[in-house]
Amino acid sequence: EKRLKRKTEEQLQRKGKVIRLETIPQRLLPQTPKKPKLNTPESPKSPRFNPTKSPESHQLNSSKSNLNPSKSPKIPEPKSPKSPKSHPDRDKDSNVDGSDKMAGGSGGHVAFQFVPCCVFVRGLPSYANEKMIREGLSAYGKHIGRIRKILITRLSKSRMVTNTPEDIEGGLSAFVYLDDKVSVQAAVRLSRRKKIVIGGSQPAIFPAISKDFMRFINAKREGGKIDYIRETLPMRNNRLIREMTIPPDRERLMSTSDQIKRKHSLDSIRLALLDKSKHLSDCRLVVRNIPRSLATKEFKKMCRDACILWSEHSNPRILHAKILTDKKRVDSKGQARSRGVGFIQFDAYQDAVNCLRCLNNHPNPGYGFTSRARPIVEFAVEDGRVIATRGRKIYEKRKMKIMLEEKDMKYKNTLSGAPLSGVFDRAVREPEKLFEEMGI
């Protein structure tokens, strides 16, 4: 009978008339939510239950608990999944570190949540300038340290960062670059204690947020779909171009020849980036307006000193440094003359940015620069095809070197005077020495 039942079930199942519950996956079945279990006095899991006591004592305990509602057992509410914090301004001091943190779900991530060593100052008066901000922050110079750079912006540009823009309508905001993470933490804590005063007002200071994370915050506030942004090559190119361009208020310090050179170089970079195989390198820099007398060693030392001057704790590692020369033109010593253009490659992106920020449009009289010929520092354009061929050549060279070393070792082992490897070879060729070592 059992066999007949199985056969009939199989036949019906093939036709699609019978479906067993066992064959359906568990995730497709309707699942009822589990109810929270209460610790009643009758259950053995309750801490008040004692089997040695009489049932009358249990009734007394339960009546006491009913009389006092504060001691009655509370029903645990189901925990809802915590949503990510809507704004980093409300974070605790433990989250204020000014470092690059990752945020996002499993579908992707928002890159560069915090700008390194930078704070955002909002609530400044409309008449505030760079000197007033510097004086207000330098009053606590022991805690905050040295101020690298100040960028003042209008409220419309930084509206997405503020919590309540209506309260400070018509005011200014600023991005202040500090020395390290410790100074960022100190500035944020001092602003929370209402100790920093700039132009008669007490501004609010927060760690500076990147543009990608601002989009994430705006999408969350508006209740729309959150797009997890991953930085692409075009996005990185735009970020690097913004880094090496000089604001219009600083252009008046440059000479007309420098302005023409900068405009021409930026146009050539944008024209080169139209080719999709080319991109801006984030570790390789081009330095123009180099004095003719500057040698490669001095150029390398200048870039290293600039990194350390901008960030004292940095230890830059330079992979390659070279000044372009013209072989047709020769100086008094018979060497090729410099073209005034040099390339330098760092191991890390942060070192390259520090060098660019310190040298770009800042004449250093110690190395022959003048106010009429200031250094022009830019990120170098690289071709992906050239990098691929270069990597292929390096791989082939390493492979050939390993093959030659293996052949050389085999040839040495075959020679009579070569050191013998293996007990069998030594026993065949030099049995006396082997017996002496063994003590025979």
Q: Alpha-carbon distance 305 to 316, whole Å?
A: 9
CATH topology of domain 91-222: Alpha-Beta Plaits (3.30.70)
Give the span between the Cα atoms of 283 and 380, in whole angstroms: 8
Q: How far is the C-alpha of 69 from the C-alpha of 54, rounded, in Å?
A: 24
Would you list the DSSP string of 201-222? B--EEEEEE-HHHHHHHHHHHH
**Residue boundaries of the structural domains of the chain:** 91-222, 236-386
SS3 state of residue 286: strand
pLDDT for the residue 432: 65
In the prediction, which pLDDT does 345 show? 93
Angle CA 170–174–178, to nearest 5: 165
> Nearest to residue 198, comparing CAs of 134, 255, 260?
134
Res 76: pLDDT: 45
pLDDT for the residue 101: 41
Listed residue (161, 298, 156) closest to 216, CA to CA: 161
Please name every residue paired with 118 in a beta bridge, in sequence order, or none if there are none.
177
Token pair listed for 88: 């980093």
411 C-beta neighbours (distance < 10 Å), count: 10
Number of CB atoms found within 10 A of residue 110's CB: 24
Residue type at position 197: V
Q: How far apart are CA 235 and CA 256, in angstroms?
A: 31
Task: Please indicate whether the domains covering 91-222 and 236-386 agree at the CATH topology level.
Answer: yes
Residues 288 and 340: beta-carbon distance below 8 Å: yes
pLDDT value of position 386: 86
Three-class SS state of 396:
helix
What is residue 12's predicted lDDT score, i.e. its pLDDT?
Answer: 67
Q: Please give the Cα distance from 155 to 158 (Å, whole number).
A: 5
Task: From residue 258, give the alpha-carbon distance in Å to each of 40, 321, 343, 363.
Answer: 83, 23, 19, 12
DSSP annotation of 157 reads T
In whole angstroms, what is the distance from residue 104 CA to residue 384 CA?
Answer: 30
- Reading the chain (440 residues) residue by residue, the pLDDT tens digits are 677 777 777 776 665 554 454 554 555 555 555 555 554 444 444 444 444 444 444 444 444 444 444 444 444 444 444 444 444 443 444 344 444 443 444 334 444 477 888 999 988 888 888 888 888 888 887 788 888 888 888 654 334 343 444 344 446 889 999 888 888 988 998 988 888 888 888 889 988 888 777 777 777 666 665 555 566 777 788 888 888 888 877 777 788 888 889 889 988 998 888 888 888 998 999 999 898 888 899 999 999 999 998 888 888 999 999 999 888 888 777 788 888 899 999 998 999 999 999 898 887 667 878 888 889 999 999 988 888 888 888 888 888 888 888 777 766 666 555 555 555 565 656 666 656 665 55
DSSP 8-class letter at 76: P
27's tokens = 């995730």
What's the pLDDT at 330? 80
Q: Which of 230, 76, 246, 217 minimizes the C-alpha distance to 158?
A: 217
What is residue 314's predicted lDDT score, i.e. its pLDDT? Answer: 85
- Spatial neighbors of 294 by CB under 8 A, at least 6 apart, are 302, 323, 338, 367, 368
CB 45 within 8 A of CB 38: no
Class of CATH domain 236-386: alpha beta
What whole-number distance in Å separates Cα of residue 344 and Cα of residue 285? Answer: 5
* Closest CA relative to residue 259, chosen from 288, 286, 299: 288
How far apart (Å, rounded) are the C-alpha atoms in residues 412 and 94? 63
Q: 290: closest CA among 223, 327, 256, 337? A: 337
Q: How far is CA 206 from CA 100, 114, 150, 285, in A?
A: 14, 10, 15, 32
